[in-house]
Chains A and B, each alone.
Chain A
């Protein structure tokens, strides 16, 4: 009986060990991808900030500045752009961002019509399964996000806004705060909201073409910049979340192996003890 028990334990140790090999490997892959993704997100931020400042400087220059991208339109349809991962096994990463998206959508759906652009396989699955109106979907673009793909998504959003299919655009993504903290966040893309804290400093700048036309030209880049930055940020968050999840899994596996080895040794010892007792018992009888 004891030896059957021993075999069982041995089998379990082996299976935990092989799982641990996988989680360890995934942890390593995630941390190397994380480093790359963070560099990308950092430089994207520089680019985006420069663009963002320029844009607001243009609007600050004259008080009569007008653009269709500012609020003041009757809202009927709201578009949600939701960025989640392409893969699972990343701790709460996908669940958190989708939960926030669902929450915001439920609030909005009471008053307005909702359409969705999911980015990432998990988001696509989630929204198509629940029967939402998906106007466009993008999978497997996050890891090697290029400005071109961001622009394509951006042009889709802007076209929908221009021809009146959408009156408001909201973005749900995950903000990379630190290797240990990633927060699902919500951000309005259109209409544009003027940053409050900016004190308008008149720089007396000349514009070519005129500010309004220039603004129209910069707008696609701005939107693409927002998307690019958010996708890069989300991907870094995904890797960080996966790294932590896999680290925990590996730690748990180590602990389990320790416990099982203890059990195994105990079982082995008790078999030996029993054998000795039997031999001694047998010898005693012969005397």
Chain B
């Protein structure tokens, strides 16, 4: 299968740099698959799952907001944070979801609520990616 160059960049490190055969992302407009020789494209990614196929196997990662860009057969994902589904610490994610829920209940200002909701969203995304990967 034809492959294309994929690079995933986060503020901390280059998370992935290599050849991929297929990439499935969920943009703000809906799911999309990217194969080699995809047209030039830029899309926004909310938090969700990213599936990367290399050597015929899918690897799943949880992403929290980013941008996907295809430019002349080179694909770049610029992500705020991303981690492999099998590396997600599920206990930690559960704990942080609980913490966020507590914070939402105890919050006194809208700002606090918004902040806690974001935290909850991130935690739930991690949990859902992790559990769907297990199946």
Contact = CB atoms under 8 A, between A and B. Distances in A.
A57 to B, nearest CB: 7
Interface in A143-181: 147, 151-152
A206 B39 contact: yes
B13 interface: yes
A260 interface: no
Nearest to B81: A147
Contacts of A51: 67, 78
A209 interface: yes
A48 B115 CA distance: 23
Contact of B42 (A46, A58, A221): A58
A50 B41 contact: no
A40 B72 CA distance: 29
B78 A205 contact: no
A39 to B, nearest CB: 9
A206 B76 contact: no
Nearest to A207: B42
Contacts of B39: 204-206
B51 interface: no
A46 B65 contact: no
Residue in B39, B42, B70, B80 with the greatest tally of chain A CB atoms within 10 Å = B42
B100 to A, nearest CB: 13
A221 B70 CA distance: 19
Interface stretch (B4-12, B91-99, B101-109, B124-132): B4-12
A214 B80 contact: no
Contacts of B11: 43-44, 47-48, 147, 225, 228
Interface string B16-38: 00000000000111001000000
B76 A50 contact: yes
Given A47-B78, A205-B41, A218-B67, 18 more contacts: A40-B12, A43-B12, A43-B14, A46-B14, A47-B9, A50-B9, A50-B76, A50-B78, A51-B78, A151-B80, A203-B72, A205-B40, A208-B27, A208-B32, A208-B43, A208-B44, A217-B44, A224-B80
21 contacts: A43-B10, A44-B12, A48-B11, A50-B9, A50-B78, A51-B67, A51-B78, A54-B42, A54-B67, A54-B76, A151-B80, A205-B70, A205-B71, A208-B32, A208-B44, A209-B29, A209-B44, A214-B43, A217-B28, A221-B80, A225-B11
Which 9 pairs across A and B sit closest by C-beta, in order of nearness? A205-B40, A217-B44, A208-B29, A208-B43, A47-B11, A203-B40, A50-B78, A44-B11, A147-B80
